[in-house]
Amino acid sequence: MKLEGEENKIKWADYQKEIADDHFFYVRSCIRQSLYPGSEQFFLNLLGNILKKDIYENPSHTTCTGIGYHGDVVPFSTIQTVVARHYALMKESGYKNIAISCVTSFGIYTEILETWKHFPEELEKTREYLFKATGREFDIPENVSHTSDIIYKFKDEIASMAKYRLVDKETGEPLKGVEHIGCHYAKIFPKYGVGGAEFPQVLSGMITTWGGEVVDYPERRHCCGFGFRQYLVQANRGYSLSNSITKFESMKPYKPDFILTNCPGCNMFMDKWQYTVKEMNGNTYGQDGNAIPVLTYEELAGLVLGVDPWDLGLQFHAVQSEPLLDKMGIEYSKEDKYKTIDGRQMGVPAKILNV
Amino acid sequence: MSDFGYVLLKNRHIDYEANDKRIAEYIYAREPSFGYCMECGCCAGTCTSGNFTHLSLREINILIKRGETSTIKEQIDKCMLCGKCTLVCPRGVNTRNIIILAGEAIQKLEANEL
Amino acid sequence: MNKEVIVIGAGAAGMESAGQLANEGFSVKIFEKDESPGGHLKGWYHLFPNRRDSVEVMDYLLDVIDRKEIELLTNTTVTKVSKKDGKFVVTTTQNKEYNADAIIVTTGFDLFRSERKEEYGYGIYDNVITSAELEKMFRNGNLRCTDGRIPQKVGFIHCVGSRDEKVGNFYCSKLCCVSAVKQAIEIREHVPESNVFCFYMDIRMGGSGYEELYRESQQKYGVNYIRGKVSEVAENYEGKLVLKVEDTLVGKPLKMEFDMLVLMVGMEMSESGKELAVNSGLLTGENRFFAPADHHFGSNKGNVDGIFYAGACTATMNLTETLAHARSAVDDVVDYFRRKK
């Protein structure tokens, strides 16, 4: 595959979106702040303290209700009003650029903005609903970026500060990364994703800039199988799982060192399903019988910048990252893995992979 | 009843005149792009759901038009509404809306509202 | 008569109409944007349906324009035609102006840019090539994958850039189906042990001898046909191309691996034609080609009296139709001068 370089006839410039440079209004993800809290924590730290950008989050921000919307329990007018409320919070806080942590939310924010463009009566209705319910008013944001867009924008700055590269310390070979993009990042509106829908560049750009190599495998563009309705009913989960396995089997021959995702659901499922498959039939898809660590882009940026893996929350994954850390030559303390910041011992999970 | 050791065979023609085409009429009236399909199968080829379940939007489309609707309900329940079919459709069929409308029509049919 | 006629474009339509104009006693200038005449014919190997070597047609056309009444100006793009007092002024990119009594526009077509169908991975995966690139391989006698292997399994994807609202082309390009059949046969001839599959929505064999060629491809060459529009292409670990499609006649999604995939690229109004249309006030249709004055009686005429069209600048057209259309344009020119007397 030729995604970059002179040989490449494709002009990715067609799919370069505008990503704000500073002054971000941050909205969190339901799944990420519960399951991978280190990622969002580090994003705020990276933007605010390392890159010295202005980033703000409002304590009154709530879920976007996207899971309910895609699970057929939240009507469209309701979710429009919830999203409008977030825009109102942004206006009240004096911000115009929204930075969205979740791909589902990102899809919803953009879907609603597009709806308002094409159906102005929906916008008027929403203004009315929000005002009646809360007395709030809102503006349309100037810039809508997913947080992976923002890291993509600053990938070169991150590379210039890097302590580690995505390179095998022993062999000097680039590490192989599988990138997986959430469906709602660019499949709804290819023009709002860096690189479009078929060959998105947002994560592959990070991997190559930080020294790694991107694996292109046949099922690369496919859904992880989350599917909201499919996952929410227990008896249907085999369907989600089977889709993830289709991807794992397709990537296995390439011997990937890690999977990089930009979607909360994908990250959760690609991580946890590896545990499930192993329990169900003993299969693993990484090297040497290991599972493949699944990282968020903040976690990967953090590792590259030399942040302690346990401060990034890598121990909260089902698939542990030690094989990757060892390859990159990252130092870490085995004792501190399950210690709180003030040194107290946390519970140690009984069933995790790669240890 | 007498058993002569053989049975009467059911005619397997699509009996176009006898078949119930109310679902098709319901969709046509609300989503004209329903009629633009040329049965190319691009939707079904790219469908994530179709990997593991019997779901082919192309097939649903033609079955509804012919009034052969006995398997439709089961099929549309498998759709994740991900929209990948809309992305590839060369005829600009609003595939998501067709699934939604077919569901509505079936509900109404069952409630004797069609 | 000593009238001057300018022909814009030296492809098949331009060359044939220039020859006919000269036969009628006009003096002719042909402007060609490339460095040599011939247009798309230059890149073609054998022609459907009788698989004649394109060089024979090329030689015929070169012969047609090789006469003193015809002046060929290459590397010259016409940007504008304007009409003043019943005469025409043609402007080129070099900002030169030429006068003429009538114009035949033969700006032809451009091939669809396959990278626009992103899901097929053209420009991204090795061995996803266009039908035009395959013709060059045949011509050079070098039918190989990028790593030098001889392809053992080749797929043809029909309707790339045609009949596809997603790229803004509603129309059928008409000759890709028969081109695919011809090229599939040629693959089997070049590599007798190969397997060839065509993926189609409809097989459109409307021309004389086309259906027969289709039948021959099955009977003599064992070419396989699968009915379904290809949804996407990816590459697997062994470097094979993996294609996904619905086998619509079976009613199940299908995956298949290939060494080489050929995209049957459609035809679009040429960029130079578009520029000329905009600058000169020439009307174009919904399909972006020049709009004929009348579908049946005026396919060589447009909205400006004295400016005529010939060939694929008005609609997708095969070579047979193009040559006939070129000659009928000349009839219209003759008629135009007769009317003006």
Select from A9, A196, A218 the Cβ nearest to the Cβ of C234: A218
A222 has a pLDDT exceeding 90: no
Q: Could you tell me if the ipTM is greater than 0.85?
A: no
Contact C165 B88 (CB under 8 A): no
pLDDT at A9: 43
E strand or H helix at A215:
strand A213-215
Does C254 contact B at CB distance below 8 Å? yes
Output the average pLDDT for chain A: 92
Best probe of the A interface among C125, C231, C236, C242, by most A CBs < 10 A, is C236
CB-CB contact of A136 with A289 (8 Å): no
Interface of A with B in 246-265 (CB under 8 A): 246
Number of domains into which chain C is organized: 2
pLDDT at A14: 67
Contact A243 B80 (CB under 8 A): no
Q: In angstroms, what CA-CA distances link C204 with B28, C184, C201?
A: 28, 15, 9
DSSP state of A180: E
Contact C229 B45 (CB under 8 A): yes
Among C266, C299, C329, the domain-final residue is C266
Residue of C nearest to B91 (CA): C165
Both C150 and C13 in a single domain? Answer: no
Q: Please give the CATH topology (third level) of the domain spanning A19-147.
A: Glutathione S-transferase Yfyf (Class Pi); Chain A, domain 2 (1.20.1050)
CB-CB contact of C54 with C46 (8 Å): yes
pLDDT in tens, B82-114: 788 998 999 999 998 999 999 999 999 999 998
Domain span holding position C47: 4-108+270-340
pLDDT at A13: 57
Helices (H), chain C: 12-23, 54-65, 131-140, 176-190, 210-219, 271-280, 319-340
Question: What is the sign of the dihedral through the CA atoms of C210, C211, C217 and C219?
Answer: negative
Does B53 contact A at CB distance below 8 Å? yes
Contact C251 B39 (CB under 8 A): no
C219 has a pLDDT exceeding 50: yes
Cα-flanking dihedrals φ and ψ of residue A170, to 5°? Answer: -75, -50
3-state SS, one letter per residue, for C56-80: HHHHHHHHHHCCCCEEEECCCCEEE
CB-CB contact of C217 with C209 (8 Å): no
Both C55 and C120 in a single domain? Answer: no
Query: What is the mean pLDDT of the segment spanning C99-118?
Result: 96
Does C253 contact B at CB distance below 8 Å? yes
Does C238 contact B at CB distance below 8 Å? no
Does C230 contact B at CB distance below 8 Å? yes
> Using CA atoms, how far apart are residues A184 and A272, in angstroms rounded to an integer?
21
Q: Which residues pair with A125 in a beta bridge?
A: none
Both C54 and C144 in a single domain? Answer: no
Find all residues with CB under 8 Å of C81, minimum gap 6, and list them: C8, C88, C89, C90, C91, C103, C105, C276, C280, C282, C307
CATH code of C53's domain:
3.50.50.60
Query: How do the domains of chain A map onto residue ranges?
Result: 19-147, 161-338
Find all residues with CB under 8 Å of A201, minimum gap 6, and list them: A3, A12, A15, A152, A194, A195
Among C242, C266, C290, the domain-final residue is C266
CATH number of A161-338: 3.40.50.11810
Does B107 contact A at CB distance below 8 Å? no
pLDDT in tens, A136-179: 999 999 999 999 999 999 999 999 999 999 999 999 999 999 99
Q: Which two tokens stand for residue A196?
A: 């479009």
pLDDT at A143: 96
**What residue ranges define each of the domains in chain B, with the CATH number in brackets?**
22-110 (1.10.1060.10)
In this prediction the pTM is 0.84
Q: Which two tokens stand for residue C184?
A: 């599939």
Both C177 and C93 in a single domain? Answer: no
Both C251 and C313 in a single domain? Answer: no
Among C217, C247, C266, the domain-final residue is C266
Contact B51 A242 (CB under 8 A): yes
Both C20 and C42 in a single domain? Answer: yes
pLDDT at A7: 44
Both C79 and C182 in a single domain? Answer: no
**Three-class SS state of C99:** strand
**Parallel/antiparallel/unpaired status of strands C260-265 and C153-160:** parallel
pLDDT in tens, A183-198: 999 988 888 999 888 8
E strand or H helix at C309:
strand C307-309
Of the pLDDT bands very low, low, confident and very high (cuts 50, 70, 90), residue C302 is very high
CB-CB contact of A72 with A61 (8 Å): no
Both C77 and C125 in a single domain? Answer: no
Residue of B nearest to C160 (CA): B90
Residue of B nearest to A226 (CA): B80
C43, C164, C113: which is closest to C270 by C-alpha?
Answer: C113
Both C134 and C247 in a single domain? Answer: yes
Q: Which residues pair with A295 in a beta bridge?
A: A260
Both C94 and C225 in a single domain? Answer: no
Both C238 and C138 in a single domain? Answer: yes
pLDDT in tens, B4-56: 888 888 888 888 888 999 999 999 999 999 999 999 999 999 998 888 889 99
